[in-house]
């Protein structure tokens, strides 16, 4: 059966019977003619989108491995034949794995791949003389390799403003795609009572095990809300799941870990103040991939500007039940004065917490989302963890927005715990 492909012509939307690739006028070309340096389409659109925007390393570590580039929604190999140190430096910087890089020896032979031509940005050129797959190592100026790039994702999904949605479901958000928010982790109960298992179907039982959210900091540390452990402080009662999307189905992308240690902020007493904790899982910990990535920490001078919109994500309550698939919502930071004056209970909010959501209700984080991320996007596209979902009076109710623990005031403590200190 012939495949039909839509092509975007200048004046109208047309269809093509092309098997591999199509020009804007519907004429067919081979995939290998795309970005080969020769114009094959009358309009030249086969050479019009050859910018190398995303690279990745495979079959190695976070900072060394074989080099691939994202082209036409597919990861393609980069050739070592015409790669030099200047290009490697630019590529390492693009991946935020350090300012410098070096070419490594390789014995992997390939017959087709891409070269890169780098100026202010790198352009792709399909190679006609490719013999070896590029293998590189990245490092920073001090000679040390960063732990990983943070706050980036392979799956680009724009968080929608939930206030514009007709359906008020976090509550009032939308169902995400796998890998869309790869720093979002789940904290689950290991043990559920026998009566619960008997009363619920397998799917309902699996969802019932969800307890709280968390965010990935590095391979062995995650951050969450301290109050998630008020009823049971035993590490043996919980497990950490990263790379998940659907709570009821296993697709092979999940990584499950025992909880090794819970680090509470030293001044934490209850949900109203310092509601933050760092979780430790056993080494070597998380294997980073397109479904599991660390989120960046904010700078110490991060400003919680009212009106700034950021993303909350989690599997928390949607009213009558926990979400089966990861939900997310784009919500704004609320002015502290407006928040405190919206309800008497918010006078208990500490100075290291903030309000976010909509005073008119309809969109909010909810039970089970606690500990999850409030992630804001930087100008460079990376997400930073501005807040940790903490508490609220109800879910998505009028004049009852969610309360979030600020992350910026706790950076010294976070870095001390993550780096093995005893602060």
Helix or strand (DSSP H, E) at 339: helix 336-340
Please, which residues have CB within 8 angstroms of residue 175's CB and are 6 or more apart in sequence?
Answer: 323, 325, 326, 327
Spot the catalytic one: 16, 137, 148, 370: 370
Q: Which of 390, 394, 380 is nearest to 271 (CA)?
A: 390
- Beta bridge partner(s), residue 358: none
The residue from 152, 211, 227, 274 that is catalytic is: 227
Please tell me the distance from the alpha carbon of residue 215 to that of residue 334, in angstroms, as a whole number: 22
Please pick, among 36, 45, 244, 275, the residue that the annotation labels catalytic.
Answer: 275
Q: Is 152 a catalytic residue?
A: no
Sign of CA dihedral 396, 316, 238, 224: negative
Using CA atoms, how far apart are residues 144 and 262, in angstroms rounded to an integer? 29
Q: b or e along 54-91 (b: 16 or more beta carbons within 10 Å of the residue's beta carbon)?
A: ebbbeeeebbbbbbbbebeeeeebbbbeebeeebbbbb
Query: Is 275 annotated in the active site?
Result: yes
370 has catalytic annotation: yes
Kindly report whether the peptide bond that precedes residue 77 is cis, defined as omega within 30 degrees of 0: no
Residue 356: Cβ within 10 Å count: 28
Residues with catalytic annotation? 227, 275, 370
């Amino acid at each position: 059966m012939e495949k039909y492909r839509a092509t975007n012509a200048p004046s109208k939307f047309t269809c093509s019977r092309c098997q591999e690739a199509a020009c804007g006028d519907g004429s067919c070309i081979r995939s290998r003619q795309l970005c080969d340096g020769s114009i094959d389409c009358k309009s030249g659109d086969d050479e019009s989108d050859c910018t190398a925007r995303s690279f990745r390393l495979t079959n190695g570590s976070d900072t060394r491995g074989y080099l691939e580039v994202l082209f036409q929604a597919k990861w393609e190999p980069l050739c070592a034949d015409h790669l030099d140190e200047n290009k490697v430096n630019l590529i390492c910087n693009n991946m935020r794995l350090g300012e410098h890089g070096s070419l490594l020896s390789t014995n992997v032979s390939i017959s087709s791949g891409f070269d890169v031509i780098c100026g202010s940005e790198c352009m792709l050129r399909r190679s006609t003389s490719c013999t070896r797959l590029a293998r590189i190592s990245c490092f920073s100026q001090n000679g040390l390799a960063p732990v990983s790039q943070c706050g980036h994702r392979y799956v680009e999904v724009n968080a929608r403003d939930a206030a514009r949605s007709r359906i008020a479901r976090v509550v009032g958000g939308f169902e995400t795609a796998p890998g869309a928010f790869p720093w979002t982790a789940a904290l689950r109960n290991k043990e559920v009572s026998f009566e619960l298992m008997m009363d619920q179907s397998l799917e309902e039982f699996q969802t019932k095990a969800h307890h709280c959210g968390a965010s990935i900091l590095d391979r062995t540390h995650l951050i969450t809300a301290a109050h998630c452990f008020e009823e049971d402080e035993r590490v043996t009662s919980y497990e950490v799941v990263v790379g998940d999307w659907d709570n009821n189905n296993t697709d092979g992308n999940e990584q499950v870990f025992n909880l090794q240690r819970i680090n509470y902020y030293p001044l934490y007493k209850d949900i109203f103040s310092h509601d933050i904790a760092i979780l430790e899982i056993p080494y070597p910990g998380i294997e980073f991939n397109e479904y599991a990535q660390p989120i960046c920490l904010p700078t110490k001078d991060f400003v919680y500007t009212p009106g700034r919109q950021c993303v909350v994500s989690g599997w928390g309550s949607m009213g009558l039940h926990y979400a089966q698939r990861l939900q997310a919502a784009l919500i704004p930071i609320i002015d502290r004065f407006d928040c405190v004056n919206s309800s008497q209970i918010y006078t208990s909010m500490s100075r290291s917490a903030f309000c976010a959501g909509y005073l008119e209700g309809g969109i909010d984080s909810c039970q089970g989302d606690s500990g999850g991320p409030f992630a804001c996007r930087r100008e460079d596209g990376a997400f930073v963890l501005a807040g940790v979902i903490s508490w609220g009076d109800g879910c998505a109710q009028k004049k009852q927005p969610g309360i979030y623990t600020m992350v910026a005031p706790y950076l010294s403590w976070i870095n001390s715990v993550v780096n093995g200190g005893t602060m």
